[in-house]
Amino acid sequence: MKIPLTLNGTKTVLEAYPEDSLMKILHENGCISVKSGCQGGFCGTCTVLFNDKAISSCKMPVGLAKDAQIVTLESFSHTEDYKIIIDGFEKAGIKLCGYCNAGKIFAAYQIMKTNKNISKEEITEQIKHLSPCCTDIETLTNGIIQAIKLKAKRIKRITSNE
């Protein structure tokens, strides 16, 4: 079946069985940041942005991606939000391993863009399902808090320059 979608900003048509996992098809099409981990949607290694929402691509049949906008870590890593998240993670002492990066980074992005005044407990609640292999949930929470602070400073700097 031909499945038209936008992948990392480029309109494309993927050839796949509709029941194949989005993770499998993306990886087969060169998106190496989309990794196979737990296959249950918990570890975060297969996370992508699906219409700007972080999802576990291992649980998504590719047939449901018709006409969707998919962004993988390969493309997202060129954005300002990515740079802010990485800076926040570094401030918290997070060393990225390369395996579970997508889950941590896209979880941080989702929280940053939807919650301006969020408590540490609320962040922990939103990420507790992740099983990051290179950090613990408390350190990841602190990294997200740092990223939120950096984003707020950047926005304040931009608006004060206008």
Q: Give, for all 162 residues of the chain, the pLDDT tens digit.
A: 999 999 999 999 999 999 999 999 999 999 999 998 888 777 788 999 999 999 999 999 999 999 999 999 999 999 999 999 999 999 999 988 888 899 999 999 999 988 678 899 999 999 888 876 778 889 999 999 999 999 988 877 777 665
Residues 6 or more apart in contact with residue 33 via CB below 8 angstroms = 72, 73, 74, 101, 102
Cβ atoms of residues 63 and 19 within 8 Å:
yes
Whole-number Cα distances in Å, 28 to 14, 31, 123, 146: 10, 7, 33, 35
**What DSSP line would sit under 33-71, residue for residue?**
TS---SSSS-S-TTEEEETTEEEETTSSBGGGGTT-EEE
pLDDT at 39: 81
